[in-house]
Amino acid sequence: MASLDVALSHRLRAFRLELRVEVAAETVALVGPSGAGKSSVLRAVAGLLTPDAGHVRLGNETWLDRASGVDVPAERRRVGLVFQDYALFPHLSVRGNVAFGSREPARVDDLLERFGIGGLAGVRPVALSGGERQRVALARALAREPGVLLLDEPLSALDAHTKATVRAELHELLGGLGLPTVLVTHDFEDAAALATRIGVLVEGRLLQVGTPEELVATPADPFVASFTGANLLPGSAAPGPDGLTEVTLDAGGVALSTDVARGRVALAVHPWEVSLARAATDDSAVNHVHATVLSIARLGNRARVRVGALSAEVTTASVERLGLAVGDPVVASFKATAARLLPM
């Protein structure tokens, strides 16, 4: 399977997009805030945007090479692009949409069948649900037998209920296709669920590329940490007792970490590493924050509890057992081994 090799340099409104990424038969997610240049990467690969410099290659096919003046037009690149709001042709039926990219009626029938939209073949997009639209968009993108699949915010147009189902379907599909796939999303959870590797793109630059696990366990940068959902507590680090690092937090109090650092740092701790108690207990956690409960949000069997500057993720059962309510004083604890120190 040919792999995709992308190197781009392109002036965007407020910054320069500089990025180099290679995608084998895997799914790479580009995550980052809106306006970070994520969609521009997809457009450059698809041939809808000509970057100032760089190249786009799929195996031994060169689609773009600014240095040698190669710029294959979009219609002759073997790319399947799924647009953010799917961009289905409103004047064509589901079948007409899928058939737009293929000359083989048998392949179109196949795809309609495979995506479970055969029964909707004659329907116009306006009458479809969000999940159905996405399946049509995917079937249409695959009709051309692309060598690369590009997905622009594939889940953002869906409501929360549909999203979980569609995400599972998409995960299964991407695994089965074995195509180099680039997915763009602003949601770290979606990226972690769908991608083999994640690149965090901020203001045109990749801050870190790694597996979802790597990004969560060893974020390279405070932004990456906050993007993975970690709590960030700024402070100053200095050598502390027992070979640990002591961080004097800006918000007051001190915390210990096994990481080695000195000077200004952001202490990152994931919400699921934070435990809650009515009173400080004598356990192995060395970091205790005394604060009041600001909010409790229940998400099925989990609850996210805001305690002072910290966000803790505990089971709903624990919330009930402790009888927690907004305004209660509690102690939030986490281990020194769970506290990552990131230079600021």
Partner 1 sequence: MSRLFPALLWLATGIALAFLLLPVAALFLRVAPADIMGALGSDVARDALVVTLETTLVAQALILLVGTPAAYLIATRRFRGRAVVITLIELPLVLPPAVAGIGLLAAFGRLGLLGSTLDAIGVSIAFTQLAVVLAVAFVAGPFYLRPAIAAFEGVSTDLRDAARTLGAGQWRTFSRVALPLAGGGLAAGAALSFARGIGEFGATIMFAGSLQGVTQTLSLAIYEQFDVDFDTAIAIGVELVAVSALLLLTVKLVPGWRRSTSLFPIGSAPSGSS
Sites of contact with partner 1 (CB under 8 A): 43, 46-48, 73-77, 79-81, 83, 85, 87, 89-91, 100-101, 140-141, 143-144
Q: Residue holding tokens 């002591």?
A: 246
Nearer to partner 1, 152 or 273 (CB): 152
Nearer to partner 1, 85 or 172 (CB): 85
Q: Bridge partners of 18?
A: 9, 205
Shortest distance (Å) from residue 41 CB to partner 1: 15
CA distance 268 to 249: 12
Count of C-beta atoms within a 10 Å radius of residue 227: 23
CA distance 337 to 271: 14
Nearer to partner 1, 125 or 271 (CB): 125
CA distance 80 to 144: 7
b/e burial code for range 26-62 (CB count within 10 A of at least 16 → b): bbbbbbbeeebbbbbbbbbbbbebebeebbbbbeeee
Q: Bridge partners of 264?
A: 236
Nearer to partner 1, 30 or 98 (CB): 98
Shortest distance (Å) from residue 80 CB to partner 1: 7
CA distance 164 to 148: 25
Cα–Cα separations (whole angstroms), residue 186 to 41, 84, 310: 14, 12, 22
> DSSP secondary-structure letter at 158?
S
Shortest distance (Å) from residue 46 CB to partner 1: 5
Shortest distance (Å) from residue 139 CB to partner 1: 12
Q: Bridge partners of 310?
A: 307
Shortest distance (Å) from residue 72 CB to partner 1: 12
Nearer to partner 1, 82 or 247 (CB): 82
Nearer to partner 1, 48 or 123 (CB): 48
Nearer to partner 1, 34 or 301 (CB): 34
Shortest distance (Å) from residue 150 CB to partner 1: 8
By C-alpha distance, which of 279, 339, 343, 280 is closest to 310? Answer: 339
Nearer to partner 1, 69 or 73 (CB): 73
Nearer to partner 1, 101 or 154 (CB): 101
Cβ distance 130 to 162 under 8 Å? yes
Shortest distance (Å) from residue 213 CB to partner 1: 33
Shortest distance (Å) from residue 76 CB to partner 1: 8
Beta strands per DSSP E along 172-230: 181-185, 197-202, 205-210
Shortest distance (Å) from residue 185 CB to partner 1: 18
Residue 83 burial (C-beta neighbours within 10 Å; 0-12, 13-18, 19+): middle
Angle between helices 105-114 and 130-143 (to 10 degrees): 150
